[in-house]
């Protein structure tokens, strides 16, 4: 098992292995001390999963990675750049590195599928309609959505849960981000749809070469797709490592989480 990362070395240089480094992150909402000094390293080009129970601050942590929230204390480096002190404009530039897939896709209700996917391009560049449509259709094909009848003109309420996730992923991918953040991607899906989403995440990581950060409490999914797993509990990362290393941990919080989820045996089988 790898110990949770700690220390405060010089992270102001781009590191070939670690794309995002978080140290001593703290966040309080009123009386709630949600993050109590999070240390986390995100590995470049791999699928990094942060697990933890409900209300442990996983989504809060993810929002910090993208600069949607400012921490009370602590630092976050993305490719060697400390993002905490960045202003609105600089943060806007930094966010182009990121794509985010929201828990329930967060598609814009007033726009159809094409308008949703093309939104980042329309907002950021002056591309012709032809160029935009070419990129949208390419993504629809790569995410197995091109075969759905009339998909381009459909509005979000007309899509199934799985289709919505894919359209959300397409929107996150359209501007070719380096880092993809997934917030509870399998929540609300049946086991088959959840497995499909897992495959989609793995394939996206391979096909597009992106760094994936997945926030999840779905242990089955975690052990299926995770290259590196970290557990958030009590406002801190208590363990980080490969799935084998995490499974071998004797930490009571982790043991309880793994055993309750009922995937320990399956995961052990998958990673002998």
Partner 1 sequence: MSTASVEGPSEPQLGVGAALIEAALSPVRGIFSYIGEHALLLWLALAALFRKPFRLRLFLEQMEFVGVGSLTIIVLVGFFSGAVSAQQAIAALRIFNQERFVGATVGLSLAQELAPVFTALMIAARAGSGMATELGSMRITEQIDALTTFAVDPVQYLITPRIVATVLMMPIMTMVFNIVGLFGAYLYAIFLEHIDLGQFIEQFTYWTDPKDYIIGAVKSAVFGVTLSVAACYQGFNVRGGAKEVGLATTQAVVAGSVSVLVSDYFLIDIFHILWPYKS
Residue 29 or 131 with smaller CB distance to partner 1: 29
CA 234 to chain CA centroid, Å, is 21
Which run of H or E residues covers position 248? helix 243-248
Distance CA 147, CA 258 (A): 38
Q: Is 120 in the site for partner 1 (CB under 8 A)?
A: yes
For partner 1, give the closer residue by CB, 118 or 246. 118
Binding of partner 1 by 84 (CB under 8 A): no
Spatial separation of the C-alpha atoms in residues 242 and 49, rounded to whole Å? 10
185 part of the interface to partner 1, by CB under 8 A: no
DSSP three-state, residue 194:
helix
Instruction: Please answer whether residues 24 and 37 qualify as being in contact, where contact means their C-beta atoms are separated by less than 8 angstroms.
Output: yes
238 and 254 in contact (C-beta within 8 Å)?
yes
* Minimum separation from the CB atom of position 241 to partner 1 (A): 29
DSSP summary character for residue 251 = -
Applying CB under 8 A, does 127 fall inside the site for partner 1? no
Map residue 81 onto helix, strand or coil: strand
By beta-carbon proximity to partner 1, the closer residue of 69 and 264 is: 69
Q: Which of the stretches 117-125, 135-143, 222-230, 250-258 binds partner 1 when contact is defined by CB under 8 A?
A: 117-125
Q: Shortest gap between Cβ of 154 and partner 1 (angstroms)?
A: 17
User: Measured from the CB atom, is 181 or 254 closer to partner 1?
Assistant: 181
| Residue among 33, 74, 119, 236 that touches partner 1 (CB under 8 A) | 119
- Answer yes or no whether residue 106 interacts with partner 1 by CB under 8 A: yes
Of 11, 18, 77, 98, the residue at the interface with partner 1 (CB under 8 A) is 98
* SS3 state of residue 132: helix
How big is the CA angle at 262 (ends 258 and 266), to the nearest 5 degrees?
95
Chain residues binding partner 1 by CB under 8 A are: 63, 66, 68, 88, 91-93, 95-96, 98-100, 102-104, 106-109, 119-120, 123-124
């Amino acid at each position: 098992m790898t110990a949770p990362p700690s220390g405060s070395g010089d992270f102001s240089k781009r590191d070939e292995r670690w794309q995002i480094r978080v140290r001593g992150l703290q966040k309080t909402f009123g009386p709630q001390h949600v993050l109590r000094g999070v240390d986390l390293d995100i590995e470049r080009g791999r699928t990094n999963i942060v697990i933890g129970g409900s209300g442990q601050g996983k989504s809060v942590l993810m929002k910090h990675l993208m600069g949607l929230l400012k921490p009370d204390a602590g630092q976050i480096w993305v490719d060697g750049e400390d993002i905490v002190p960045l202003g609105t404009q600089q943060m806007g530039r930094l966010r182009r590195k990121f794509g985010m897939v929201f828990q329930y896709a967060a598609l814009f209700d007033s726009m159809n599928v094409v308008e949703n996917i093309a939104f980042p391009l329309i907002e950021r560049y002056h591309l012709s309609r032809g160029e935009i449509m070419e990129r949208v259709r390419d993504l629809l094909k790569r995410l197995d959505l091109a075969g759905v009848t009339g998909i381009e003109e459909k509005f979000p309420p007309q899509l199934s849960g799985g289709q919505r996730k894919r359209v959300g992923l397409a929107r996150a991918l359209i501007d070719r981000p380096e880092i993809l953040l997934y917030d509870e991607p399998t929540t609300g899906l049946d086991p088959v749809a959840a497995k499909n989403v897992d495959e989609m995440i793995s394939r996206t990581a391979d096909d597009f070469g992106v760094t994936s950060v997945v926030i999840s409490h779905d242990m089955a999914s975690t052990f299926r797709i995770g290259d590196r797993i970290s557990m958030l509990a009590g406002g801190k990362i208590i363990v980080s490592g490969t799935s084998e290393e995490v499974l071998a941990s004797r930490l009571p919080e982790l043991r309880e989480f793994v055993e309750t989820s009922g995937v320990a045996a399956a995961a052990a089988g998958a990673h002998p």
